[in-house]
Homo-oligomer: A and B are copies of this chain.
Amino acid sequence: MKPRAGSKALIREINEALVLDVVRTQSPVSRAAITVQTGLSAASVTGITGKLINSGLLVETEIAPSTGGRPARLLELGREGVFAAGVRLSATEAHAVVVDLRGDVVATHSEPLASTEPAEAAAAAARAVRAAAGGREPRLIGVGAAVSGVVDQASGLVRHSGAMSWADIAFQELLEEATEHPVVIDSYVNAYTRGLLFDDVFAGREMLIFSVGTSLGAAVVVEGRIQRGFNGSAGGFAHSRAITGPEPARPCHCGAEDCFETRGSLWGMQRELERRGQDRQLDPDGDSALIANAALHLGIGMANMAKVLGPGQVVAGFAPEAVLGTFAEQTKDAFVRQYDHANTPPPIFDTAIADPVALARGAACSVLAGLFTASPTG
């Protein structure tokens, strides 16, 4: 991100974002409290909140009981002023949600994909967004899209997506033309992370988020910002090498052997079943040994990555199809055992479900995040 010169406009942007963020996290809140929290003068807060109320981003709701003087007039984020949309794109459907300024989902719509051809995918995504938005479309400030694969958000390119069979597709531009709204694209796991960051429970400043499903993904949050790395390729722990011991090596679709993806993903487990000559679906009960082995490798891999970055919190989001008996619990156990050896305290480890709505909502939250942080999106 190229540095930007300071100007009065920048001051305003910073302070508006600051005020909005205080209201977001402490809603409902008085102007006096905003003054204290932001360090701005009371006069500035009056001016800034006035402008934000005019544009519908803030609303005055109740009047607080007096604490000995004039009672405070409490402010909250406006639920009707602006909206953001998010789409989660898979090979078969586009799942759209619309959220209000608070990140609450107010509408959803799902649209089938005729093909994974980029233009058709963008058209289907646009139809889904339009249907979900309905009469709110003029108040949409942008559309976020969660795409499977390696996504370079800065350039708007999908570098590589196995599920869609894409390579270097300018999907941001395609979707902007189809929806006629500003678009932000991101990978599944980064979109999911955005959603987590928007909620207070997971709003840690140093977090590591894993997505576990057909493939594996990881997102890195440092100082409250998602790190994307060179060309958006950060978090690619799926193709780090797992520690395998005496078991036979497993070839990975990437060309290497024994990547974590061959051990811990649904793809890897299914592949192992095939190798054993069993052409059937994974069975949580019958394949418990296979699942336990996957969980072990996943947990160890996650712990190794966690030790590199030292996050305060680790979240493992399991896709609905990856909820297999005690897979998640076993992964957590393996993580805790492996991390235990280090002399730094282990991070909090949470497991969660990463379903299509969570991904689409996360993508929408990427759009909202622009309002609450002044510096370029993080």
Contact = CB atoms under 8 A, between A and B. Distances in A.
Interface string A89-114: 00000000000000000000000000
A370 interface: no
Contacts of A342: 236, 239, 254, 256
A300 interface: yes
Given A256-B342, A343-B160, A344-B233, A8 B11 contact: yes
A39 B4 contact: yes
A343 B1 CA distance: 25
Contact of A236 (B227, B237, B307): B307
B7 A307 contact: no
A232 B312 CA distance: 11
A23 to B, nearest CB: 14
A37 to B, nearest CB: 10
Interface string A242-268: 011000000000111100000000000
Give the oligomeric copy count. 2
Contacts of A278: none
Size band of the interface chain A makes with B: 35 or more
A14 B18 contact: no
Q: Could you say which of A13, A233, A338 has the most chain B C-beta atoms within 10 Å of its C-beta?
A: A233
Interface in A329-360: 338, 341-344, 347
Interface string A280-293: 00000000000000
Nearest to A311: B230
B308 A241 contact: no
Contacts of A222: 222, 227, 229, 234
A10 interface: yes
Nearest to A40: B5
- Nearest 7 A-B pairs (CB), nearest first? A6-B11, A256-B341, A233-B310, A6-B14, A229-B310, A206-B230, A230-B310
